[in-house]
Amino acid sequence: MNVVGFNGSPHENGNTALAMKLVFGELEKAGIETELIHVGKEKLRGCMSCHACLKSQDGTCVFDDDPVNGWIQKMAEADGILLGSPVHFSGVGGTMKSFLDRAFYVAGVNGNLFRHKVGASVAAVRRSGGLPTVDAMNKFINYAEMIMPASNYWNVAHGLRGGEVEQDEEGVQIMEVLGKNMAWIMKLMEYGKEHIPAPEPVAKAWTHFIR
Ligand SMILES: Cc1cc2nc3c(=O)[nH]c(=O)nc-3n(C[C@H](O)[C@H](O)[C@H](O)COP(=O)(O)O)c2cc1C
């Protein structure tokens, strides 16, 4: 089994990456392979709302001049997905948000590509804004009908300069507990799949509130 992680920070060795590696450490101890991809240092456009991905039905975004399509493919093939972002103005870093909007829209309109994968989110923050940032990433996980493991508190680690989250004893524990629970859920699902069939997917009902 494997987990692919997306670090929304521009820093490859910053606090977000460090928090994610704490989760990965526990996954690896449980025999699960991990890969960390650095999103925040890339040049990515946001979703243009062109709906080309809905028309093409080939599981890709029409913009092929950045790594997003390769990352969608990696997510579609992975057993688990870990999202990580630094807190920027009390929310998800801009580049990460652009990536998530595009990837999850493509996945949603192409047969729910991430359905029933195990997924979790973590955030690194100096002081305030950790919870809305984790909540915002969790929204993508929920929308995609993924299965979300929990920790013993909300998945936020505190630090300003890269490496400082190591000094956040509770934050370190939160990440480690999340990693253990994620590994356990992944193994339960792998075992359970053979014994308990998954619910059939349903065609999505769409309503809006104008008519
Ligand atoms: C543009 C920007 C906005 C930030 N906004 C916040 C904020 O709203 N609240 C906060 O506590 N820290 C804020 N920070 C600090 C970062 O969240 C913090 O340094 C975090 O550890 C960075 O993670 P990284 O090392 O993975 O990049 C901000 C940093 C930047 C660069």
CA-126 nearest atom, ligand 1:
11
**Which class for 132: exposed (0-12), middle (13-18), buried (19 or more C-beta within 10 A)?**
middle
Q: Collect all residues with Cβ–Cβ distance below 8 Å to 202 and sequence separation of at least 6.
A: none
The string over 176-185, giving b where at least 16 C-beta atoms fall within 10 Å of a residue's C-beta and e elsewhere, is bbbbbbbbeb
Token duo for residue 139? 């929204």
pLDDT digits (tens, 9 = 90+) for 45-66: 999 999 999 999 999 999 999 9
Lowest mean pLDDT among 29-38, 64-73, 171-180, 199-208: 199-208
**CA R_g for the chain:** 17
CATH superfamily of the domain spanning 2-193? Flavodoxin domain (3.40.50.360)
CA-86 nearest atom, ligand 1:
23
pLDDT digits (tens, 9 = 90+) for 130-165: 999 999 999 999 999 999 999 999 999 999 999 999
What pLDDT is attached to residue 211?
Answer: 65
Kindly report the pTM of this predicted structure: 0.98
Ligand 1 atom 2 nearest Cα: 88
Ligand 1 atom 7 nearest Cα: 89
Write down how long the chain is: 211
On average, the pLDDT of the chain sits at: 97
* Cα–ligand 1 centroid distance for 187 (angstroms): 34
